[in-house]
């Protein structure tokens, strides 16, 4: 039986980050991935040789001394990640369809403040106050500064106030509230349910800068491969833990793998969905309270994605001037509590992203769209599997993809004859490919007053990290690994 210092379960961005941190500090690490390739939602796929993003599209914090830049620097891979900043006019546009109003957010924190104050002069003081509150939260959150060391950052007063209540206390302007809550699409939780503090932690770096990454999520995967070479990190794909045995004094003695091999370790860290962790840990060593706590976690929103490319007749090789990277958010209403609700009828919130992708010596104009979806909408097909979906589901998927295509062309009518849909994906697609229990986009909801699964679990040598632990998304998932990794290395 082989023994490792640590086993890391799940090779998404959190698992890769944690494996690197431990390996760089002389630990022997086994990184387990249930899928056939590492990377989780960071991994791209290709159609006709054209790369498309799955779960990673854009991020904040890549500027010098930004939280993401600092984490990449600590891992020694900052020079392997090339940001493509979204800076062009109209590069980050919000459109409120029911009010027939659009707002182009500026790049930069103070620039964002000035831009909104110019658009809403009557609410100038409220806008300034909002950004002061966001900055204050992030300044006092230890986990957002690698120079501070804290295992469990203390809760702030703002952790007990919802985003909705905070906005209601600042302004009655519903469009402005919709704009300030707009990055709720990056955590998938209603303003009435998420704390003002957690929304601030998610949105702060995105207000300061927005960027895509050259090579998308694959760039992070390749950086992990290069940095882990020579370290004592072994990666096993298409492999997962099936059983925890020889449990004594609340410590797992052996972990049985799907390959039949048994391994042991000093500590096993799960970076997967909490409900998947619950399936692995032996129930007779868990309290009813713990099981109920995990079972009651609710899924965040899901995403229905459309992947397409603009095929032009001309043979221009440089399209930088007229196809700059951009993000356009279409909100049918400014009420995000309504939009992030399974009961919402009509068009859903839609985020359209344009990017230039290079492959096979060619440059492609890629237009991807992510429409808010809900696991509840797909529950009747939940027992089906990829390649074996019922005709009813396939018809629904086709109709929804066509509707999204029409919405894209409504914004970009110049693509009417040139936009070609290459593929689409629903939450069920994510459920299958990412081994998620529900296919949600951000794991569990980050609800106010909720204690997520993070740190030590009921069995002493088992721990939890990942995007469901501290904050959702790339930055939140990596942050959880840094916080826990530092603690384990003490």
User: Which residues sit opposite 45 in a β-bridge?
Assistant: 52
Give CA–CA dist 161/166, Å, rounded.
Answer: 7
Distances (CA, A) of 356 to 216, 321, 322, 481: 11, 11, 11, 31
Query: How far is C-alpha 371 from the chain's CA centre?
Result: 15
Q: What is the mean pLDDT of residues 160-176?
A: 97
pTM of the model: 0.95
Residue 315 confidence (pLDDT): 46
Give CA–CA dist 345/348, Å, rounded.
Answer: 8
Return phi, psi of residue 385, to 5°: -130, 165
Cα-Cα-Cα-Cα dihedral of 203, 209, 211, 217, to 10°? -40
For 375-416, write each residue's pLDDT tens digit. 888 989 989 988 899 999 999 999 999 999 999 999 999 999
Instruction: Return the DSSP state at 422.
Output: E
Instruction: Return the DSSP state at 444.
Output: B
For 315-355, write each residue's pLDDT tens digit. 444 555 567 899 999 999 999 999 999 999 899 999 999 99
| 301 pLDDT above the threshold of 70 | yes
Contact 200, 137 (CB under 8 A): yes
- Report residue 301 as tokens: 């929103």
SS3 299: strand
| 142 pLDDT above the threshold of 90 | no
Element (H, E) at 474: helix 473-488
Instruction: Return the DSSP state at 380.
Output: G
Half-sphere exposure of 397 (CA within 13 A, CB side): 19
Q: What share of the chain is helix, strand, coil (3-state, %, to 5)?
A: 35, 25, 40
For 33-65, write each residue's pLDDT tens digit. 999 999 999 999 999 999 999 999 999 999 998
Give CA–CA dist 131/125, Å, rounded.
Answer: 10
Helical packing angle, 13-24 and 67-75, nearest 10°: 50
Listed in sequence order, the residues at least 6 apart from 214 whose beta carbon sits closer than 8 Å to its beta carbon are: 82, 83, 84
Burial 445-473 (b: 16+ CB within 10 A, else e): bbbbebebbbbebebebbbbbbbbbbbbb
Q: Among residues 428, 417, 430, 424, which one has the least CA distance to residue 401?
A: 424
* Mean pLDDT of the residues in the chain: 94
- Report residue 35 as tokens: 């899928």
Residue 89 confidence (pLDDT): 82
Residue 150 confidence (pLDDT): 61
Q: Among residues 190, 206, 107, 79, which one has the least CA distance to residue 476?
A: 206
Q: How far apart are the first and last CA of the chain?
A: 27
| 280 pLDDT above the threshold of 80 | yes
For 243-258, write each residue's pLDDT tens digit. 999 999 999 999 999 9
Return the sign of the alpha-carbon dihedral for residues 481, 485, 488, 490: negative
Q: Cα angle at 177 between 173 and 179, to 5 degrees?
A: 120
Max Cα-Cα span within the chain: 70
Half-sphere exposure of 326 (CA within 13 A, CB side): 21
Pairing of strands 241-245, 326-331: unpaired
- Report residue 451 as tokens: 């204690």
Listed in sequence order, the residues at least 6 apart from 40 whose beta carbon sits closer than 8 Å to its beta carbon are: 10, 11, 12, 13, 15, 55, 434
Name the region of 14 (left: φ>0; alpha: ψ -120 to 50; beta: rest): alpha
Residue 317 confidence (pLDDT): 46
Q: Among residues 347, 340, 330, which one has the least CA distance to residue 93?
A: 330
SS3 33: coil
Q: What is the mean pLDDT of residues 418-425?
A: 96
| 22 pLDDT above the threshold of 80 | yes
User: Which residues sit opposite 83 in a β-bridge?
Assistant: 213
For 183-200, write each residue's pLDDT tens digit. 999 999 999 999 999 999
The percent of residues above 90 in pLDDT, for the chain, comes to 87
| 462 pLDDT above the threshold of 80 | yes
């Amino acid at each position: 039986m082989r023994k490792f210092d640590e086993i890391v379960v799940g090779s998404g961005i959190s698992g890769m980050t944690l494996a690197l941190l431990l390996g760089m500090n002389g630990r022997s690490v086994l990184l387990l991935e249930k899928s056939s390739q590492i990377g989780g939602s960071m991994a791209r796929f290709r159609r006709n040789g054209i790369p498309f993003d799955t779960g990673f599209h854009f991020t904040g914090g890549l500027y010098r001394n930004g939280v993401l830049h600092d984490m990449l620097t600590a891992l020694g891979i900052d020079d392997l990640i090339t940001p493509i900043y979204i800076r062009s006019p109209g590069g980050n546009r919000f459109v409120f369809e029911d009010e027939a109003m659009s707002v182009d957010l500026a790049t930069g924190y103070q620039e964002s403040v000035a831009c909104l104050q110019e658009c809403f002069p009557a609410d100038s003081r409220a806008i300034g106050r909002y950004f002061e509150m966001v900055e204050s939260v992030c300044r006092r959150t230890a986990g957002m500064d690698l120079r501070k060391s804290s295992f469990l950052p203390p809760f702030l007063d703002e952790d007990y106030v919802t985003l909705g209540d905070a906005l209601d206390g600042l302004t009655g302007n519903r469009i402005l509230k919709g704009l300030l809550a707009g990055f709720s699409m990056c955590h998938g939780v209603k303003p009435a349910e998420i704390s003002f503090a957690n929304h601030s932690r998610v949105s702060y770096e995105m207000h300061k800068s927005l960027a895509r990454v050259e090579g998308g999520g694959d760039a992070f995967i390749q950086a992990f491969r290069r940095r882990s070479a020579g370290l004592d990190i072994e990666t096993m794909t298409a492999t997962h833990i099936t059983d925890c045995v020889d449990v004594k004094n609340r410590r797992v003695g052996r972990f049985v793998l799907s390959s039949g091999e048994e391994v042991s370790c000093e500590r096993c860290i799960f970076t997967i969905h909490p409900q998947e962790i619950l399936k692995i840990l032996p129930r007779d060593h868990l309290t009813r309270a713990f099981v109920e706590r995990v079972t009651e976690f609710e899924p965040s929103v899901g995403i229905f994605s459309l992947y397409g490319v603009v095929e032009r007749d001309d043979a221009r090789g440089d399209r930088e001037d007229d196809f700059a990277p951009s993000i356009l958010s279409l909100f049918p209403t400014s009420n995000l509590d309504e939009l992030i609700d399974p009961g919402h009828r009509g068009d859903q919130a839609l985020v359209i992203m344009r990017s230039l992708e290079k492959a096979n010596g060619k440059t492609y104009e890629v237009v991807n769209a992510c429409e808010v979806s809900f696991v509840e909408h797909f529950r009747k097909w939940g027992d089906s599997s990829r390649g074996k979906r019922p005709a009813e589901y396939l018809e629904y998927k086709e109709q929804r993809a066509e509707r999204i295509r029409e919405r894209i062309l409504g914004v970009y009518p110049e693509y009417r004859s040139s936009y070609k849909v290459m593929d689409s994906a629903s939450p069920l697609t994510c459920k299958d490919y990412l081994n998620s229990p529900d296919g949600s986009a951000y794991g569990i909801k980050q609800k106010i007053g909720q204690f997520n699964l993070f740190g030590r679990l009921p069995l002493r040598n088992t721990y939890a990290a990942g995007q469901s632990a501290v904050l959702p998304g790339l930055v939140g998932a990596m942050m959880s690994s840094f916080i826990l990794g530092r603690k384990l290395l003490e």
